[in-house]
Amino acid sequence: MGNKFLQYFSLTIAIIGAINWGLIGFFNLNLVALLFGSMSWLSRIIYGLVGICGLYLLSFYGLIDQDRTTS
């Protein structure tokens, strides 16, 4: 269960981060800063989680390559 949970959690946090970046790019609206304050301790934790999850998701490229060799 642990590995599946980590994968879904990381993917969900990365999607939330991507949506936030899209809102910043298209509408100049930083949803994290709006909800939790500009660079408050809570928003910094959220930004940190998004970054860590993004780094973890880099390992998914290895899984894609692994699927290609087994088929």
Quote the pTM value: 0.80
For residue 23, give the amino acid letter. Answer: L
Query: pLDDT tens for residues 2-37?
Result: 688 999 999 999 999 999 999 999 999 999 999 999
Confirm if 23 and 35 have CB atoms less than 8 A apart. Answer: no
Nearest CA among 41, 50, 49 for reference residue 21: 50
The predicted structure's pLDDT at residue 62: 81
**Please, which pLDDT band fits residue 71 given cuts at 50, 70 and 90?**
low
User: Using CA atoms in the order 1, 67, 8, 49, what is the torsion angle rounded to 10 degrees?
Assistant: 110
**Please, which pLDDT band fits residue 64 given cuts at 50, 70 and 90?**
confident
Domain ranges of the chain: 2-70
